[in-house]
Structure 1
Amino acid sequence: MRGWGPLTAVCLGTFMLLLDVTIVVVALPDMARSLHTSLSDLQWVVDGYALALAALLLGAGAAADVLGRRRLHVAGTAVFAVASLLCGLAPGPGPLVAARALQGVGAAAMLATTLPLLGSVYRDRRRSVALGVWGAVSGGAAAVGPVVGGLLTEGPGWRWIFFVNLPVSVAAIWLTARVVPESHGAPGLRVDRPGTLAFAVFAGGTTFAVVRAGEDGWAAAATLVSFAVAALALLAFVLVERRARHPLLDLRLLRRPAFVGVLAGALAFNGVAFGVTPYVSIWMQTLRGASPVGGGLALLPMTGASVVVAIAGGRFLHGAPARLTIGGGLLLISAGCFCQTVLDAGSGWTALVPGLVLVGLGTGLVAPAVAGAALATVTPERAGMAGGAVNTARQLGYALAVAVSGTVLSGRMQDTLPHDAAHTLAGGGAAALRGTFPRHTLDAAFTAGLDRALLVTGLAGTVAAVLVLVLVRTARRDGPGPAPVPARPLPEGSAAPGR
């Protein structure tokens, strides 16, 4: 036993990589002014990171089992640090988006190895304590991201939300190399490279198609071609996984209704809860006059409610059926989205508070339960695969929701504004439009777009909640279903990255 050094090293990296999912949200308006970005640029600043993380998470876990988990974790942290430097130095939106995607590559290597490393070091009660600390750090990173982003953006500038990663990365690499022992998966494992590539093309093609739909329309050639490429990549992924000796995802898991229900809940969760948040931040700062810090603090009702419920739920809801915690939590999140569809040209951010609280309550129920529910639907041999699939679904759902919300937002704005003006407004360019359009018109257009986007996400969350309530009837490892197949074994209790 090496004390708490390995836990400290792993938590440093986890905090940093999960912080970067949300830290950019309140910096988007400043980025737009500084780099003269478009709406699609801002979407990709958020999505480039989440999409690379989602697309490579399963493949990174397989590679770590073969190459060594500590080795890949350190390499991923180094890539993350270099990418953070490139983000901070980016002269324009293109280099920034590329660097954000590179950040996601490093983050995938870090997140995929986090819990296997902890599981290889800690045993019994210490493992439970270590995983509890790791879970708290994970939740804290998501909660404080907008506030930290606001402080750095309003202080030294938005580029420092990336520069701050450099000293943390150096400390994490040094500590990991010094105190975390190396570990591998079972002998004879191979990396499913074709499956990794096919899934990455599917995820990227789908997200790109939705973003292009917002720019060019759903029937545009670029949109249709992107959807076609994504469909072909999905077909290729299915064919590869059916024949792979060590698949990224054993497709027989999809015969289990409970697993499908949990996966649907995970796909919807992050997107429904947080997919509209970047545009709410843009609205508050460019039209309601909030500062970056104020924009971050305005989200505290959501994060505070989430933390309180997660802590209380761990004590009082232990053993509660997953269909109720996940399905009920998604219904609360959806209700929170519906409650926020009350904005008009005269609304302030306080109109969002009741809805944000409901979203936070639902998030506090779903987040701690979704990974454990996935593990309960499969045999222990496939726990690592199930946990990786759930976390992939969460990040992919977030990336898609940001893209869909932006498309819905700008489409609704075009009922009031010309196409180019709508995209400029949604991309944080309200100041450039004030000489052309009345302030009231801009306010009305943006709030109408937010209302529509929140309505769509609320409906999506409701559908996902119904699927969870219907499908997740039983969640038993010993229940009926396909027999175990060789999978990437992980140490006991280390299967599923959480948040």
Structure 2
Amino acid sequence: MTASPHAHAQGHVHPPAAHPRRWTALALICVAQFMLILDVTVVNVALPRMAADLDLTRTSLTWVVTAYTLCFGGLMLLGGRLADALGARRTLLAGLALFTAASLLSGLATDGPTLIGGRVAQGVGAALLSPAALALVTTSFHGAERAKALGAWAAVGGTGSAVGVLLGGALTDGPGWPWIFYVNVPVGLALLAALPRVVPPSAGTPARGLDLPGALLVTTGTGSLVYGLVQAGDTGWTSASTLLPLLGSVLLYGMFAAVERASRAPLMDLRMFTLPQSSAGEVPPSRFARPVVAGSFLMLIATALLISFFFLGSVQLQHLSGFSAFETGLAFLPVAVTTAAGAHLGSRLVGSIGPRACAAGGMALAALGCLPLVLVTPGADAWTTLVPALSVASLGLGAVFVTATTTALGMIDHHEAGLASGIVNTFHEVGGSIGVALVSTLAATSIQGSGTAGFTAAFTLCTLAATATALAVPLLVPRGRPHTTGGPHVH
């Protein structure tokens, strides 16, 4: 999500007077963002219990995860436009209200369609809330304070996944899985009461156009892609119910590209993908290098792998290893911690050895971490196989996340960083949906309780994807080192 372009001071214009309650506002906004990040991973640990209580099929279980990230990512850029047009505070409160109501609906669900509908509404609320929240953080702070504020914002993303797996396990084993959603309700209501008192009103700017057709096309296209991938697990890759949605997604993406090219105010400026490397680096830029393409691709693959790890690991630990939900949350704590450690290490290495080496090394480490899971024998101890393997892989992915962001934002001209940030964040959310859909299909037999061959196939795909990406990095990622930009990454 990106801050409004109006937030950046031009020339020597003095910034407006700082709001006296800006730090309180930051704390509350970070709590709101924390809920959004939490809900990406909190459901994974509860999936087996949800399936048992609501009689969910593998397909429904997959949509419980993907519906949220699909709508979050697909509508994110539209949410940023609405924040500009209607005012960031108004959009923030609208998104928070919708997210809170949707959380209540999800917790009250007594069947799969209601639960999935609640997750869709949560994703829409998140797509409104998150870009508006980041715009408020960016415009409320200036100079050195802005760096501190954005650092706090980034820390929320780093801790959200770790807390999500622990909280999901504790609540599922305690009061029950509906409480992974109910817990958002009192927090959301408290924030709705407190935020208007500390966040100053923000006037909207006349919108050149909100590009609703573009938002609907890209979200529907991704939904059709995910649907086709999930259906393949039940009906096969050559069935009409698989091929028609996949072909439909291609058609919808083509229509989206045509709409964006014709629009005077496109949701996603496709010219961003053709931007060359900036000349500000330490080596001459390559005329073939496309930093936004490289960063978006790395973000897509890294997120697809990481969210797939949580999905596959949760089902495998509880179905095959007999772990409780809370034990599963504890098992995933090292994975979340090593992801954060990898991001910290990557932020240091990307400036010294460059994004190309950092991305290749991170993906190679992810492939090495996945490899033992392809070879592991049924009945092996999860604490000595699955947990350490995923922890090693996640260490590499953490570095790739940082590299993806710095490549897309730090190797282009400064004035393009805001738009590039929005595109990369969209690929971040959508990557999780596509990854889970693919591994769910490959692991279908194992998820339905028949042996471990499905899990082996899914982890084989993860290994091959990481290996192929590592080999492709020298062709995709520009040489040189990134320069500092003002475009922050969401998480």
Q: TM-score, normalised by structure 1?
A: 0.87
Alignment of 1:413-424 (within 5 A): 422=445
1:244 and 2:263 equivalent? Answer: yes
Alignment of 1:390-401 (within 5 A): 390-401=424-435
Q: Deviations over 1:446-487 (max 9, x none)?
A: 2x2212111101211222233333222247899xxxxxxxxx
Aligned to 1:453: 458
* Cα distance, 1:165 vs structure 2: 0.3
Aligned to 1:378: 412
Aligned to 1:170: 189
1:464, 1:144 → 2: CA distance? Answer: 29
1:271 and 1:402 in contact (8 A); partners too: yes
Q: 1:467 aligns with which of 450, 457, 472?
A: 472
Aligned to 1:198: 217
1:237, 1:77 → 2: CA distance? Answer: 28
Q: 1:149 aligns with which of 151, 168, 189?
A: 168
Q: 1:212 aligns with which of 205, 217, 231?
A: 231
Query: Which amino acid letter does the alignment assign opposite residue 214 of structure 2?
Result: G
Q: Deviations over 1:145-184 (max 9, x none)?
A: 1111000000000000000001111222233212122335
1:131 and 2:150 equivalent? Answer: yes
Alignment of 1:223-262 (within 5 A): 223-256=242-275, 257-262=290-295
1:264 and 1:464 in contact (8 A); partners too: no
1:248, 1:36 → 2: CA distance? Answer: 39
Query: Which amino acid letter does the alignment assign opposite residue 307 of structure 1?
Result: A
1:426 and 2:447 equivalent? Answer: yes
Aligned to 2:282: none
- SS of the equivalent of 1:299 reads helix
2:111, 2:57 → 1: CA distance? Answer: 11
2:321 and 2:379 in contact (8 A); partners too: no
Query: Which amino acid letter does the alignment assign opposite residue 291 of structure 2?
Result: A
> How much identity, in percent, do the aligned residues show?
37
Summarize the Cα distance change of 1:372–1:69 in structure 2 as closer, same or farther, 3 Å threshold: farther
2:363 and 2:467 in contact (8 A); partners too: yes
Summarize the Cα distance change of 1:248–1:184 in structure 2 as closer, same or farther, 3 Å threshold: farther
Root-mean-square deviation over aligned CA pairs: 2.0
Q: 2:380 aligns with which of 312, 329, 347?
A: 347
Aligned to 2:15: none
2:356 and 2:477 in contact (8 A); partners too: yes
- SS of the equivalent of 1:341 reads helix
- SS of the equivalent of 2:375 reads coil
- SS of the equivalent of 1:298 reads helix
Aligned to 1:418: none
Aligned to 1:271: 304
Q: Which shows bigger deviation, 341-350 or 391-400?
A: 341-350
1:67 and 2:86 equivalent? Answer: yes
Q: 1:404 aligns with which of 438, 445, 451?
A: 438
Aligned to 1:282: 315
2:87 and 2:205 in contact (8 A); partners too: no
2:96 and 2:192 in contact (8 A); partners too: yes
Q: Deviations over 1:252-298 (max 9, x none)?
A: 22224222111110110111122142122112112211111111111
2:22, 2:82 → 1: CA distance? Answer: 27
* Cα distance, 1:312 vs structure 2: 4.5
Q: Deviations over 1:44-101 (max 9, x none)?
A: 0001111111111111111211111111111011100010000000011111011111
1:475, 1:263 → 2: CA distance? Answer: 18
Aligned to 1:57: 76
Aligned to 1:488: none
Summarize the Cα distance change of 1:185–1:473 in structure 2 as closer, same or farther, 3 Å threshold: farther
Aligned to 2:135: 116
1:156, 1:11 → 2: CA distance? Answer: 26
Q: Structure 2, unaligned stretches of length 5 or more?
A: 1-17, 276-289
Aligned to 2:399: 365
Query: Which amino acid letter does the alignment assign opposite residue 40 of structure 1?
Result: T
1:25 and 2:44 equivalent? Answer: yes
- SS of the equivalent of 2:322 reads coil
Q: Deviations over 1:365-416 (max 9, x none)?
A: 1233322321123333332221111111111111011010011112xxxxxx
- SS of the equivalent of 1:246 reads coil
1:381, 1:393 → 2: CA distance? Answer: 21
1:498 and 2:490 equivalent? Answer: yes
Summarize the Cα distance change of 1:249–1:476 in structure 2 as closer, same or farther, 3 Å threshold: farther
Summarize the Cα distance change of 1:151–1:188 in structure 2 as closer, same or farther, 3 Å threshold: closer
Summarize the Cα distance change of 1:226–1:363 in structure 2 as closer, same or farther, 3 Å threshold: same
- SS of the equivalent of 2:443 reads helix
Aligned to 2:66: 47
Summarize the Cα distance change of 1:317–1:238 in structure 2 as closer, same or farther, 3 Å threshold: closer
Summarize the Cα distance change of 1:318–1:173 in structure 2 as closer, same or farther, 3 Å threshold: farther
- SS of the equivalent of 1:172 reads helix
2:347 and 2:399 in contact (8 A); partners too: no
* Cα distance, 1:224 vs structure 2: 1.8
Number of matched residues? 456
Aligned to 1:160: 179
Runs of 4+ in 1 over 6 A off after TM superposition: 475-478
Q: 1:326 aligns with which of 359, 362, 375?
A: 359
Summarize the Cα distance change of 1:325–1:170 in structure 2 as closer, same or farther, 3 Å threshold: farther
1:195, 1:77 → 2: CA distance? Answer: 24
* Cα distance, 1:316 vs structure 2: 6.1
1:476, 1:66 → 2: CA distance? Answer: 36
Aligned to 1:299: 332
2:306 and 2:397 in contact (8 A); partners too: yes
2:356, 2:371 → 1: CA distance? Answer: 22
* Cα distance, 1:197 vs structure 2: 1.3
